Structure 1
């Protein structure tokens, strides 16, 4: 049901034109988010079970084109009440443009670092979003029959409108484990040049790890989805895809939905990335954060309920094991599935430091340029080509450094690494 029709029905209820309507029904709240398919269905089911005693209803709009959809709605002055985004860079942009509402104090207490850094706006430091679900990125999946052999890396870089991010994940993880959280933070928050030796070294290390590839192999990786090829039951995963004679895959925890068998092993990525031992227990993470775009107090209440222990428990109960969400606080009940439990232990108990996905911290223009540069570098990893790409990214960095809007003072987040919450 579209937003106009919902508004007409609400108006009809107010005029008592629809039988059974309350004289004063609460307006439906619209939630825009990134989940479709089984993930979207589970979240929508959890929303439907949110009963606050008012009869309020919620409408979930799930889309893979989240940024484009939200930008279009904002331009039409018809934003959702709540939007769920995985990009701190985009959220920062909206806060800077006065599109976000600071969160209520009760919700801000769940703004666990590093997923929800505070922003300094007009002299006040406030919280503008809170993580609903989180993800662990510093992982390597491998075939158990080859886990002790020299890795042959699977690479699939295609992903609809955002192709390239599996490669940026590689470079971010390498930089984090080789140079440490301080350098990583400076780079992710645009306070370090792309020509810095540590940054350049992460790109060359990635090329060395992947090794020499044939033209056919390169083209296959550029055109194959990160999910691998499709089979009768959906995506197979790269480790099970025909044409990919590989043994190891660097991929985030979410990919567990294609590796549900017992033939795949999982371990932290640190031992593969040639970094100092002091950074071995440092992990790159990502997340989906809820932000309020509406003046409606009910939108604030909704985010508070979704981020509460009861809300997280309800969501987990609605989700199938393969898409069950992970949460940021170690006080949440541990998952029961072995793979989920292993990931949760790394995320909330074994980790010393968690650092948010660097490309998702960057301004959207810089992030998108990073994605494109990775695709070009994968096709041609020559040293001269890399120098040109880093120069282009440095130009974008200097052009997109935050400038406060007229009449406002604003400072983007600076701390994107933290110890596990709880």
Structure 2
């Protein structure tokens, strides 16, 4: 947990509480940007950074003590909170920064509103390797462990494959629970992943299931799967955020499309993720805080405080002048995100309702251990059952529609 209370005096109101996912160097950079925020109101801020974000927020809501502002990466969770009237619609100045596909509007009681805004974004659909490595027969690094959310590196694989094989329209229907998990395109994505991974020994499977996506820790901390002992691999499929482990000059990053067996017309389509700020408080200062954090000045302040490996990425619609790249890797990622990408689609599992997303994570772990046709049939039937149940249970008597558009042309 990172705590920040600048300029606190006995005459000031209670600090605004910001709950977010960033710890370590990322948390320190955000904390420093928040510390430099001068909103002219005399308010103070407390930042709580945690890797167990959903569990922390749920417990705070159950205790009727929510944060003033929470920063989440799951559209599915944000949609759930909006449906329960736990989120406050954003003021107009902030809503104008709700760039697609990170912040789709919601239709609630006949009114279309914006309930969250991206503070930073991440580009997925990327593959990492060492310079000079041959791509003729990639040996894939896979680490699926991640505390309470183990399995998401595998769901990223399946999502990216489906996006490039079936295209944005099918991907969007599937991510928003309008397409059955028994659809042939969905099944093909799972089987393609198994084919790409190839034959693996029981020892290799167990190693991947129990090793963090950050790789095996070394003397200085995590060192990435490409540099981890015991992993005889040459390529890794991972989001842009992993660059904090791969900032050296001997590592390269490239689009994932050519590895996935997709169609040429979807080559410049990319999956993206983001960290979105939402207001849980009636305090007008909470709205003002999100407005300032999402402003060009707030983004520039945060970017200037962060080390190169964890410097936040922003879409070119964020109102910022082009930043001087910290290194060739950041330059390549920024170029892909803001110049070469034609279509951006939000991370599918982060769009799904939490119950379905969690079931997807578990199914990936089971499939990784046993990719047989019979087992896959069973897993897809289970996921389809969860999809139908969640859809039936979501009706609560209010006029509410979840987002259906989670893909957009690059740049909005």
Gaps of 5+ in 2: none
Which stretch has the larger CA shift, 221-230 or 321-330? 321-330
How far the C-alpha of 1:2 sits from its partner, in A, is 11
Aligned twin of 1:185: 172
Moved over 6 A (4+): none
Mapped partners of 1:381, 1:42: distance in 2: 41
Instruction: Verify: 1:359 aligned to 2:349, yes or no.
Output: yes
Alpha-carbon spacing, 1:2–1:63, altered in 2? closer, same or farther (3 Å) = closer
How far the C-alpha of 1:420 sits from its partner, in A, is 1.9
Question: Conserved in 2, the CA contact under 8 Å of 1:147 and 1:265?
Answer: no
Deviations 1:37-74 (A, max 9, x none): 11111101111110122221110000000000000000
Aligned twin of 1:17: none
Deviations 1:332-355 (A, max 9, x none): 223422211211111111111000
Question: Conserved in 2, the CA contact under 8 Å of 1:40 and 1:62?
Answer: yes
Instruction: Verify: 1:267 aligned to 2:254, yes or no.
Output: yes
Task: Output aligned runs, 1:12-411, within 5 Å.
Answer: 21-22=10-11, 25-330=12-317, 331-332=319-320, 333-337=322-326, 338-401=328-391, 406-411=396-401
Question: Conserved in 2, the CA contact under 8 Å of 1:96 and 1:405?
Answer: no
Instruction: Verify: 1:414 aligned to 2:404, yes or no.
Output: yes
SS class of match (1:266): strand
> How well do the aligned residues superpose, as a CA RMSD in angstroms?
1.7
Mapped partners of 1:404, 1:367: distance in 2: 15
SS class of match (2:122): strand
Alpha-carbon spacing, 1:402–1:113, altered in 2? closer, same or farther (3 Å) = farther
Which stretch has the larger CA shift, 54-63 or 378-387? 54-63
Mapped partners of 2:147, 2:397: distance in 1: 39
SS class of match (1:208): helix
Deviations 1:72-129 (A, max 9, x none): 0000000000000000000000000000000000100000000000000000000000
Mapped partners of 1:293, 1:348: distance in 2: 31
Mapped partners of 1:69, 1:120: distance in 2: 27
SS class of match (2:88): coil
Deviations 1:299-322 (A, max 9, x none): 000000000000000001111111
Mapped partners of 1:147, 1:75: distance in 2: 52
Question: Conserved in 2, the CA contact under 8 Å of 1:26 and 1:54?
Answer: no
Question: Conserved in 1, the CA contact under 8 Å of 2:252 and 2:329?
Answer: no
Question: Conserved in 1, the CA contact under 8 Å of 2:2 and 2:48?
Answer: no
Alpha-carbon spacing, 1:402–1:32, altered in 2? closer, same or farther (3 Å) = farther
TM-score, with normalisation over the residues of structure 1? 0.94
SS class of match (1:348): helix
How far the C-alpha of 1:260 sits from its partner, in A, is 1.4
How far the C-alpha of 1:181 sits from its partner, in A, is 0.3
The structure number with the bigger radius of gyration is 1
Mapped partners of 1:165, 1:411: distance in 2: 26
Deviations 1:144-196 (A, max 9, x none): 13143310000000001100000000000000000000000000000000010
How far the C-alpha of 1:401 sits from its partner, in A, is 1.1
Query: How many correspondences in the alignment?
Result: 407
TM-score, with normalisation over the residues of structure 2? 0.96
How far the C-alpha of 1:405 sits from its partner, in A, is 5.3
How far the C-alpha of 1:26 sits from its partner, in A, is 3.3
Question: Conserved in 2, the CA contact under 8 Å of 1:334 and 1:344?
Answer: no
Alpha-carbon spacing, 1:375–1:179, altered in 2? closer, same or farther (3 Å) = same
Which stretch has the larger CA shift, 336-345 or 62-71? 336-345
Deviations 1:396-421 (A, max 9, x none): 00011165654421000000000122
Alpha-carbon spacing, 1:309–1:147, altered in 2? closer, same or farther (3 Å) = farther
How far the C-alpha of 1:364 sits from its partner, in A, is 0.3
Deviations 1:226-280 (A, max 9, x none): 0000111111100000011110000000000011111111100000011111000
Which stretch has the larger CA shift, 324-333 or 302-311? 324-333
